[in-house]
Amino acid sequence: DAGVIQSPRHEVTEMGQEVTLRCKPISGHDYLFWYRQTMMRGLELLIYFNNNVPIDDSGMPEDRFSAKMPNASFSTLKIQPSEPRDSAVYFCASSFGQYTYEQYFGPGTRLTVT
Amino acid sequence: KQEVTQIPAALSVPEGENLVLNCSFTDSAIYNLQWFRQDPGKGLTSLLLIQSSQREQTSGRLNASLDKSSGRSTLYIAASQPGDSATYLCAVLFGANSKLTFGKGITLSVRP
């Protein structure tokens, strides 16, 4: 398996624009997690899905953030409108089982909002 | 508030040295604890997972211990190599249905 795939790897956009980040989890994994990493706050869980259903989105910072998982092999994280404080590295991770087993992380998307 | 702390934030050692990375957490009733490695510009790689019923886990030159009563875990790296240079993060699951809480990591530099 190619591991967790994220695209794009880098995104630079202007404030107010819509940003869509994409993730393909490892085949067979039933949990998918979206994280955000910044120097100030470290790594934070935004939302996670089980069998394509959102389970906990309490980490989503504002209504400007939304996430979907239309099928077992694809998820998106959308920010609309984007703001400079959204600049961070966004990671997607997947696992078989919630936390009993290891989480496998993608390479991340580095988002810069100017 | 449940928190995970890793001190110091950075560490530099000469090659060959045995070293210990520390992780402390605020609640002793944890479900499990994981150590991750992160290379610059990359995602996280899980190194070791310790369930609450376990005291330690080993993988190659790495050994992680867990002491719930004192709220501490240590990652021991034997005979460090320059290739071990990376950021090491500790993450705690405080309950079976809770979220992983990450420390901010320790950036390790192993000098040749």
**What chain A residue is nearest to B50 in terms of C-alpha separation?**
A100
Query: For residues B82 and B13, what is the distance between their CA atoms, to the nearest angstrom?
Result: 10
pLDDT tens-place string over residues B75-109: 999 999 999 999 999 999 887 767 788 999 999 99
pLDDT tens-place string over residues B25-46: 998 788 899 999 999 888 899 9
Computed over its alpha carbons, how large is the radius of gyration of chain A? Answer: 13
Burial track B33-72 (b if 16+ CB lie within 10 A, e otherwise): bbbbbbeeeebbebbbbbeeeeeebeeeebbbbbebeebb
Sign of CA dihedral A94, B86, B22, A40: negative
pLDDT tens-place string over residues A29-44: 999 999 999 988 889 9
Does the structure show a pLDDT above 70 at B22? yes
The reported pLDDT for the residue numbered B2 is 84
Query: For residues B89 and B102, what is the distance between their CA atoms, to the nearest angstrom?
Result: 7
The reported pLDDT for the residue numbered A99 is 63
CA distance A14 to chain B (A): 22
pLDDT tens-place string over residues A3-16: 999 999 999 999 99
Exposed (0-12), middle (13-18) or buried (19+): which is A48, by Cβ within 10 Å?
buried
Residues 6+ apart with CB under 8 A from B69: B28
Query: For residues B74 and B20, what is the distance between their CA atoms, to the nearest angstrom?
Result: 6
Cβ-defined contact of A45 to B45 (cutoff 8 Å): no
Lookup: tokens for A78? 């959308």
Helices then strands, each counted (H, E), chain B: 0, 11
Query: For residues A64 and A1, what is the distance between their CA atoms, to the nearest angstrom?
Result: 33
pLDDT tens-place string over residues A41-63: 889 999 999 999 999 898 998 89
Q: What is the mean pLDDT of residues B3-32?
A: 94
Q: What are phi and psi of A102, to 5 degrees?
A: -70, 145
Interface test with B, best of A4, A43, A98 (most B CBs within 10 A): A43
- The answer to whether A25 faces chain B, any CB pair under 8 Å, is no
Query: For residues B6 and B17, what is the distance between their CA atoms, to the nearest angstrom?
Result: 20
Does the structure show a pLDDT above 70 at A100? no
Chain B hits for A108, CB-CB cut-off 8 Å, are 41-43
The reported pLDDT for the residue numbered B1 is 79
> Which among B46, B103, B105 has the least Cβ separation from residue A102?
B46
pLDDT averaged over chain A? 93
The size of chain A, in residues, is: 114
Q: Which helix (H) or strand (E) covers residue A35, if one does?
A: strand A31-38
The reported pLDDT for the residue numbered B88 is 98
Q: What is the mean pLDDT of residues A62-86?
A: 96
The reported pLDDT for the residue numbered B70 is 93
CA distances from A82 to A12, A40, A58, B66, B92 (A): 11, 19, 19, 41, 31
